[in-house]
Structure 1
């Protein structure tokens, strides 16, 4: 990988994520899940809610380690000892959870995959910049640590981890948005079941 000497412009990532979010919301509104009620629907919905809680915990855990050190120090402990991108991985879990709450397995997987492509592109660009910053230390870290899927056997941590209260507060506030989507999606489900929303397609 050819190292980048300039940090990736996060505005591009944010713009892409907002576009995907708007498209996903439109799909959730217009697509009726095959299982609209019953035990299968409840199981899918509860699974989605559990993933959202895991996503929030994962993002908070990750920011405790990276918040005070981003682009200043190579962080390779805590969640970063198992995967190079625990924040993005946690976000993907939350996105999959939101998709599952909508009731459609296909829509949930499609949403997660679309966001994964954005996160992967961003992660690769960020990896090139971190290689430029930290050189051989980052290359050694990248050789043994997966880009996304965690390798649990690599886990290690340290005592007295210094964290950024501002970064932690900001991440917690942003994570609450995922929880706020639950009553919103329940409202969409109510409107759909009572015939107040147009249906574009039915999807498993």
Structure 2
């Protein structure tokens, strides 16, 4: 991605704003996700079955904008489409096995990736957002990675100035 980058301040700013939305979505989702304990259906999980991956996609779009490179953006989207589609399908099978009919009723009305407009209000987990859960899921690593890549792009821009 960096080889094709042509960062400029306005593109770094635009990409940062989009990326922050992705990071925020991932953080919101991580505060609801109690892996292997209960089916997450609250918060962003009421709109999409995969808010973490949706957040990652938005984050990648933001980084593509910040890099100001359509080649970088296309490579990132292609990687995401191939890799994460397979991951989502595999995880979906695991959820069906673990949560059975509850997951089936949830999956019938909540889309796999692109969100629905109104929240799901059916059976499933009853949790609420928890900062402790956010930390347990180590979602701060996505934020740190995002900031690191933005820092590299700022350095690349400064280096171009010469």
- Normalising by the smaller structure, the TM-score range is 0.7 to 0.9
Separation of aligned partners in 2, 1:82 and 1:166:
20
C-alpha contact 1:65 1:162 (8 A) present in aligned 2 = yes
1:9 alignment counterpart? none
2:105 alignment counterpart? 140
C-alpha contact 2:48 2:113 (8 A) present in aligned 1 = yes
C-alpha contact 1:60 1:168 (8 A) present in aligned 2 = no
| 1:184 pairs with 2:149 | no
Shift in CA distance, 164/131, structure 1 to aligned 2, threshold 3 Å: farther
Separation of aligned partners in 2, 1:141 and 1:190:
49
What does 1:2-81 align with in structure 2 at a 5 Å threshold?
Answer: 24=1, 28-29=2-3, 31=4, 33=6, 42=10, 44-66=11-33, 69-81=34-46
Q: Post-superposition, which runs of at least 4 consecutive aligned residues in structure 1 deviate over 3 A?
A: none
C-alpha contact 1:83 1:146 (8 A) present in aligned 2 = yes
C-alpha contact 1:46 1:101 (8 A) present in aligned 2 = yes
Separation of aligned partners in 2, 1:151 and 1:185:
34
| 1:102 pairs with 2:70 | no
Deviations 1:118-174 (A, max 9, x none): 111111100000000111111111111111111122356x98726362642621243
Separation of aligned partners in 1, 2:28 and 2:140:
10
Deviations 1:79-100 (A, max 9, x none): 0010000011111111121111
C-alpha contact 2:41 2:126 (8 A) present in aligned 1 = no
Q: Normalising by structure 1, what TM-score?
A: 0.68
**RMSD after superposition:** 2.6
Deviations 1:46-83 (A, max 9, x none): 221111211221111101111xx212211112100100
